Amino acid sequence: MFLQPEIWVAILTLVFLEIVLGIDNIIFISIAASKLPVELQKKATNIGLILAMVLRVILLFGISYLVAMQSSFIHVETSWLKVGVTGQSIIMLAGGLFLLYKSTQEIHHKMEGIEDHEIEGENKKTYTLSNAIVQITLINIVFSFDSILTAVGMTTGINKPDTAVDEALVVMVIAVVLSMVVMLLFANPVSKFVTKHPTVQMLGLSFLILIGFILISEGAHMAHLEIFGQKVGIIPKGYLYFTIAFSLGVEAINMKMRKNKVV
């Protein structure tokens, strides 16, 4: 199968997509790890990304169950509301709500910490490596779920009926492992950069709020939600990544201006 050019094109494309889709995961892991002591931050980041890789590989081997979760098991139909709740929609909605809660909580703590350092000190005493790993694992489930669904859509039609090996599954596993290796190489420098610059950290938390709303909209779309005859659509991911890139570009200009003023 590795002699086929389309297989290598599929692998490279998926690696790129997995890295792009993993940006929000790295942002969350960086912020979750930044509250730990410096000597534990790298360990938490590496464990978080390795867990993400393991979860995605497990989900790939259980892909039939993911597909089965598209069928709705709760139906509600009224004059103004129609919804068919599915397993996928519940995971996306729960993940979106979790991101909104954690991001809002972190922003509140940081704003309070500016004036009240005792609150910040208490939070650091109670926040341990296990707390960070639990939070990272929970959000990894959601991000991994979204990533695997994208990978499945990209590899549809790769494997042929007469092949002994499921080529699509092999391609997806290779792409997931390679993308995680790349992210492991860059995650710690990104985490240090985010920790060093509070404005970038606040920007990252704002991105997570935006991602939370997108996950909620995707969950509502998966549940075929209709309100007053209007179906809930999906917000294109391109808008999200353009917003992140544009905001980071503006922040880079601000950082350059602040550095010039100091000089």
Q: What is the structure's pLDDT at 252?
A: 86
155: pLDDT strictly greater than 60: no
**Total residues found in the chain within this entry:** 263
Find, among 200, 177, 180, 176, the residue nearest to 190 by Cα. Answer: 200
Among residues of the chain, what percentage have pLDDT more than 70?
81
C-alpha 74 chain-centroid distance:
27
Q: What is the pLDDT of residues 181-219, one digit of tens each?
A: 888 888 778 777 777 777 877 887 888 888 888 888 888
258 is a domain residue: no
217 is a domain residue: no
122 is a domain residue: yes
9 is a domain residue: yes
Q: What is the structure's pLDDT at 140?
A: 77
254: pLDDT strictly greater than 60: yes
197 is a domain residue: yes
Residue-wise burial string across 105-137, b where 16 or more C-beta atoms lie within 10 A, e elsewhere? ebbeeeeeeeeeeeeeeeeeeeeeeeebbebbe
167: pLDDT strictly greater than 80: no
Question: Hey, which residues does 227 pair with through a beta bridge?
Answer: 81, 230
Read off φ and ψ for residue 87, nearest 5 degrees. -60, -40
151 is a domain residue: yes
Reported confidence tier of residue 262, pLDDT bands at 50, 70, 90: low
18: pLDDT strictly greater than 50: yes
Reported confidence tier of residue 21, pLDDT bands at 50, 70, 90: low
Please tell me the number of Cα atoms within 13 Å of 168 on its side-chain side: 17
226: pLDDT strictly greater than 60: yes
Q: Which residues contact 160 (CB under 8 A, 6 or more apart)?
A: 167
260 is a domain residue: no
**Mean of the pLDDT values across residues 70-93?**
83
Residue found under tokens 């004036």: 115
187 is a domain residue: yes
Reported confidence tier of residue 126, pLDDT bands at 50, 70, 90: low
Q: What is the structure's pLDDT at 162?
A: 45
Number of domains in the chain: 1
Q: Determine which of 60-64, 155-159, 215-219, 250-254 has the lowest per-residue pLDDT on average.
A: 155-159
Q: What is the structure's pLDDT at 203?
A: 83
Largest CA distance in the chain: 67
Which residue range(s) make up the domain with 46?
5-71+87-208
**Angle between the N-to-C axes of helices 23-34 and 38-61, in degrees from 0 to 180, rounded to the nearest 10:** 140
165: pLDDT strictly greater than 50: no
